[in-house]
Copies of this chain bind each other. A is one copy, B any other.
Amino acid sequence: MAGNTFGNLFKLTTFGESHGVAIGGVIDGCPSGITLDFDAIQEELNRRKPGQSAIVTQRKEPDAVDFHSGIFEGKTTGTPIGFAIFNTNQKSHDYGHIKDSYRPSHADYVYDKKYGFRDYRGGGRSSARETASRVVAGAIAKQFLKGITFDAYVSQVGELQLNKNYKELDFSLTESNPVRCPDPAMAEKMENYIKDVRKEGDTIGGVISCVIKNVPIGLGEPAFDKLHAELGKAMLSINAVKGFEYGSGFEGVKMKGSAHNDKFNSDGTTQTNYSGGIQGGISNGMDIYFKVAFKPVATVIQAYETIDKDGNMVKTQGKGRHDPCVVPRAVPIVEAMAALVIADYMLLNRTIKV
């Protein structure tokens, strides 16, 4: 209810603030008997962690996960998997300047109004640091979903847009560059652009595309819990996200039905895939693909005016170690949330027929 749990059958509850003792979570409902690859889990965390390249925040956080329960002799037991990532690099003093004033387009102001006060260190609960817990859970979900692939990648940074169908891309190249764009030429442009933006002390938005392959037919529920509705909610719950579209998306509104309809092949696959692998809210076995829009990070390293708690105008200066563009580090988060959604529906689907 208070919004820190995601999923119904494969369920993640997270806790933790940016500069508290630890962040972490509990995964409840993960089936028993999965042999976990702990290196793969850490690898996903490394893709998200700060300091990994020149175009992301230079904070140093090892982001090592400690598992507390639910695993025995390397396998999931079916009982809740508790885990924590202890915070080791809490430069709280960096945040003293925001204790009494509200950063524009951050959550400072609304937290104070909602809760009466707030943990102002590093954004507290509103910090994207919380997503590290999602990456842990998503990595485990991926291992449960062996055979289903999740490939997210950066398809736009500012005005720089990768205008290629995902089928033309080689996802093995996504990790070959710090932007996580599988088109090396575009990746280089994006990287340079992000560096330029950083030099200005500014930030820039971007888009992540994601493709999920080998999803079985039948996932998703007809009315409110359509598969794409839950995918949409999952993506929109990631910090800085402003939009979600799947299949033909916003462009599809310009098409006529006769062109947009995906004609069947005799084996039940379709000749086109404007549906994005989901029809009537239910997966049809074709590739699922979608896009997620991220706004520019709100923290700019520039002087700005804002208000304090009493409504007085104050002049201040953005500082600290922040991302000039959030999308490179958000790629594993998009995959993690997608994996959590699919895992949940996989379990639910086992309950559908006599």
Contact = CB atoms under 8 A, between A and B. Distances in A.
A276 B33 CA distance: 29
A114 B217 contact: yes
A5 to B, nearest CB: 7
Stoichiometry (number of copies): 4
A219 B217 CA distance: 28
21 contacts: A3-B221, A15-B80, A17-B69, A31-B351, A31-B352, A31-B354, A32-B115, A32-B116, A32-B354, A77-B117, A78-B115, A102-B264, A104-B270, A230-B233, A244-B244, A244-B245, A249-B293, A253-B293, A266-B307, A267-B311, A268-B311
Contacts of A252: 205, 242, 293, 295-296
Given A1-B28, A77-B118, A69 B104 contact: no
B33 A113 contact: no
Interface residues of A, number: 151
A236 B243 contact: no
A172 interface: no
Interface in A277-294: 279-284, 291, 293-294
A257 interface: yes
A300 B258 contact: yes
A179 to B, nearest CB: 14
A5 B24 contact: no
A174 interface: no
A332 interface: no
A9 interface: yes
Contacts of A68: 15-16, 20-24, 84
A313 B263 CA distance: 11
